[in-house]
Structure 1
């Protein structure tokens, strides 16, 4: 069992000792959980916020070691919230910590996690004077905005960045334009696939409609079959008119549809039977003198 770390005087000395121990646990002993514990203890000893310049670098290093340890344990989802509990607001994050967060969430294909944090940090006037501002802007552009298709925000960010000279600004705007065109091409290529994926649903809908139509035609066929037993009671002209109206109904119901073919076949047979009944010697109309 590992011995408890000695009680250090609060302040940078304790944080520096905990940083050294956390680094040993991370690199030499591969004890990632213990490394995170030492980093948390060191950050707690330094207090909230960015801190004084005398120990700001120590706190930043503690966070870097903690980020690496959390990533090694596949706890990358906790990284951003874990860091912000020691700096409270995104604008106070050290450039190195923000860079690691962007690279980590880009690697796991979750760049949207750092979208607002990176935008807040880059939008801070206090951070624009930092020497790392330009490189972080380009990293945020390449790893967050462009993969998410935020082309308008990317162009606005590049045009409003004082750390970029005119040549570099034009190059980045060209990169944004190329990414926008590539995004549009991907949409065009995937659109036919999406339409093809909708075909089974359309076929299912057509199948339901065809089934309903077949049911309706079946009921109509049963009605006609029942009426056929009484056709001989109808006068000759009324019989022809009823047959003609039934023909119009069938045409309106699209006889070319495969589902209507059995019904049309039955209707033809029914028509022949009715015609034979009408023209039989018993029911043949008398011929006038």
Structure 2
């Protein structure tokens, strides 16, 4: 744990350590101090951004992977401190919901996926499996497991099983999974047989799920076709009923005497139009009388009688 001075430090400080004492510290010791700060900020203060800054500063002070080999006796401690800084950094990124940045962030401090520590790779597989993005670790895990140096690590067999269960099988990569199991010398015959049985069972479940999915799609297609097929039949029935109704109405119209109907409509119009209570009826009556007289005079001219003679 850090001292009270480190706890009172602002969370966004770019250089958490300062002073001649800190400057005189070696890179592994400075990285270990930053690891303590990052752990306190992550667990106690829940300041994930500041914890990530400490992890970045510590990993940057240790240099790229492989440089620790030149440090002699401090090589092992530097690698462990760097691995711990990466673990804390992964947790901080996950807490900030920035899990997509985890793998690119790690590859800043490890030149290749094969150089990732076993603990870091395990944490990445668990993280991306939890967020249902196992395909992110497909190439990284395959490269790490096929590396000759990593095959001699004691964690190799457990990581292979984890990669198999959390990445390959959920993605349906059964051939690659079987190839990895058969080519792994770290597994004894019983372990290989158990893993091969797991692969076979997972493949059977995968096939059953695909069959069920295809059957469901076929049923949906059949239902859709049935609905689309029933729709034109209903439409045709409605059009037939509409045609019959129009035919019946037209036959009734043919039986109506149109002249009487038009005369009745005209008389109704005149009654409404010649309403004495309506102010517009008087001019219309006057024009109607004038037109009637003109028509009468044109058809029946006045009879001229000779003058009466006494």
Mapped partners of 1:98, 1:12: distance in 2: 22
Tell me which residue corresponds to 1:31: 47
Q: Which residue of 2 aligns with 1:77?
A: 100
The ranges of structure 1 where at least 4 consecutive aligned residues each deviate by more than 2 angstroms after the TM superposition are: 7-10, 196-208
Distance in 2, matches of 1:207 and 1:47, equals: 72
**Cα deviation code 1:6-45 (max 9, x no counterpart):** 2344611111110110000001111000000000000011
Partners of 2:67 and 2:219 in 1: CA distance: 58
Pick one of 154, 162, 178 that aligns with 1:139. 162
Contact 1:19 1:62 in 2 (8 A): yes
Structure 1 residue matching 2:177: 3-state secondary structure: helix
**Structure 1 residue 183: Cα displacement:** 0.9
Correspondence 1:82-101 to 2 at 5 A: 82-101=105-124
Equivalent in the alignment of 1:66: 89
Once the two structures are overlaid, the 10-residue window that deviates more, 4-13 or 176-185, is 4-13
- The one of 22, 41, 49 equivalent to 2:38 is 22
Q: Measure the CA separation in 2 of the matches of 1:51 and 1:126.
A: 17
- TM-score of the superposition, structure 2-length normalised? 0.65
Query: 1:59-79: CA deviations, max 9, x gaps?
Result: 000000000111111111111
Separation in 1 of the partners of 2:49 and 2:125? 22
Instruction: Give me the CA root mean square deviation.
Output: 2.5
Q: SS at 1:86's partner residue?
A: coil
Distance in 2, matches of 1:129 and 1:205, equals 63
Equivalent pairs, count: 220
Structure 2 unmatched ranges of 5 or more? 1-8, 69-74, 248-310
How far off is 1:206 after superposition? 5.3
Equivalent of residue 183 in structure 2, options 150, 155, 160: 160
Whether the 8 Å CA contact 1:50–1:93 is kept in 2: the answer is no
For 1:62 and 1:167, the matched residues in 2 are separated by 37
- What does 1:1-289 correspond to in 2, within 5 Å? 2=10, 4-7=15-18, 8-9=22-23, 11-52=27-68, 53-54=75-76, 55-199=78-222, 202=225, 262=240
TM-score (norm 1): 0.70
* Structure 1 unmatched ranges of 5 or more: 215-257, 270-289
Following the alignment from structure 2 to structure 1, what is the Cα–Cα distance between the partners of residues 92 and 106? 13
